[in-house]
Amino acid sequence: MGIVNVTPDSFSDGGKFSNTDAAVAHALKLIDQGADILDIGGESTRPGATPVSLDEELSRVIPVIEALSRVATVPISIDTYKPEVMRAAIAVGADIVNDVRALQEDGALDAVAESNAGVCLMHMQGTPQTMQLNPEYADVVAEVKHFLMRRVDAVIARGVSHERVLLDPGFGFGKTTAHNIALIRHLDAIADIGLPLLVGLSRKSVLGKIAGGDEAQRLHSGLAASVISAMKGAKIVRVHDVKATVDALKVVAAVI
Ligand code: 7PM
C-alpha cells in the first residue's frame, strides 16, 4: 500500500501544478513502482496534526480519488475517520476505508455498512493530540488484540462480512518504543485473529529510536520492519517507499 498524502504543500512547486494533479501523478508513480493499493489521505489522521476541517479534507481528497478511480489499476483506500469523507470517497470510487479510529466516530459504521467498501480497523490508545504523552498497557499485545476483536464484532453486527475487514495494530498510535517492539515481535498473535493484517511502520519514530535518523533516514530500518512484518504474517504494508519495499518483499515471497 503506497501512501499518498494530499496536503497544500506536500507537492508544492510554486503553483504550476495543482495539489490534485501532483497527488495523482505521485499515485501513478507508486503504481508504476509496484503498489497494489493506494492510500489517499488529507492529513486529518496524522498524530499531533492540527485538525483539518471537513470541507478542507473533502476538497483535498475527493478530486484526487475521483481522478484516480478513472485511471488507476489498483484499489483506492481513503485514510479518514470522518463518515462524511468516507461516503463522499466511496461515491467517487474509493474501494477501502482506512480508519485510525476503527469506525468509532458517530455514523462511521453506517457509512461503511451501507457500502460495499472494505475497511481497515486500526488500534489507537487515546486521541492523536495526547496519545504519545503517557501510553500505558498491562499487556499491549493482549489489549490491542482484544480491541480489534471487539471492533470486528461491531462491524459484523452491522452486516459487514468478514471478507471486507482488515486489521492494524496501529504502530505509533499511543505506544512507546517498547510497546511498538512488543507488537512487532508478537504480530503473529494479532494475525491469529484470522483477518488480513495491515501494518504501518514507514518512517515512524520507533525506527528512529531503534536505528537513529530522522524521517528521511529511515528507509533501511523501515525495510527491515516491513520484512519482519511480512514474515510474521502481515498481508499489507503501508509505506512511502514503494519500489524499495516491493523489492524486499519479493525476497520474502520467494522464501516464505
Ligand atoms: C506523522 C506521524 C504523520 C505518523 C503521519 C503519521 C497509519 C495509518 C497513519 C498506520 C493505518 C503515517 C502516519 N499511520 N493508517 N495512518 N496504519 N492503517 O506514517 O499505521 O502516515 S498516519
Is it the case that residue 84 has pLDDT exceeding 70? yes
Is it the case that residue 36 has pLDDT exceeding 70? yes
200 lines ligand 1 (CB under 6 A): yes
For the segment 148-170, the average pLDDT, to the nearest whole number, is: 98
What is the per-residue pLDDT across 48-66, written as a single tens digit (0 to 9) for each? 777 899 999 999 999 999 9
Q: Which residues of 154-189 are buried (b: 16+ CB within 10 A; e: fewer)?
A: ebeeeebeeebbbbbbbbbbbbbeebbbbbbebbeb
What is the per-residue pLDDT across 89-105, written as a single tens digit (0 to 9) for each? 999 999 999 999 999 99
Give the gyration radius of the chain's Cα atoms.
Answer: 17
Is it the case that residue 189 has pLDDT exceeding 70? yes
For the segment 68-77, the average pLDDT, to the nearest whole number, is: 96
% of the chain exceeding 90 in pLDDT: 88
Q: Are 222 and 207 in contact (CB under 8 A)?
A: yes
Q: Looking up cell 496536503, which residue turns up? A: 7
Count the Cβ atoms, other than its own, within 10 Å of residue 238.
Answer: 23
Amino acid, single-letter form, for residue 170 = G
The backbone region for 108, taken as left when phi is positive above 0, alpha when psi lies in -120 to 50, beta otherwise, is: alpha
Is it the case that residue 46 has pLDDT exceeding 90? no
What is the per-residue pLDDT across 114-149, written as a single tens digit (0 to 9) for each? 999 999 999 999 988 888 889 999 999 999 999 999
Q: Are 100 and 167 in contact (CB under 8 A)?
A: no
Q: Are 164 and 117 in contact (CB under 8 A)?
A: yes
Residue 17: predicted pLDDT: 66
- Residue 57 class from Cβ within 10 Å (0-12 exposed, 13-18 middle, 19+ buried)? buried
191 lines ligand 1 (CB under 6 A): no
Long-range contacts of 185-193 (CB under 8 A, 24+ apart): 186/141, 187/228, 187/229, 187/232, 187/233, 187/234, 188/232, 188/233, 189/141, 189/145, 190/141, 190/144, 190/145, 190/148, 191/232, 191/233, 191/234, 193/145, 193/148, 193/149, 193/152, 193/167
Residue 128: predicted pLDDT: 85
Residue 140 Cα, ligand 1 centroid: separation in angstroms?
19
Closest CA to 252 of 231, 232, 237: 231
Q: List residues with catalytic annotation.
A: 204, 238
To test ligand 1's pocket by mutation, which of 238, 240, 245 has the most ligand atoms within 8 angstroms of CB? 238
Ordered by where they begin, the domains of the chain are 2-255 (3.20.20.20)
Q: Are 121 and 167 in contact (CB under 8 A)?
A: yes
pLDDT tier, 9 (very low <50, low <70, confident <90, very high otherwise):
low
> How confident is the prediction for the chain on average, in pLDDT?
94
pLDDT tier, 11 (very low <50, low <70, confident <90, very high otherwise):
low
Residue 151: predicted pLDDT: 98
Count the Cβ atoms, other than its own, within 10 Å of residue 51.
Answer: 12
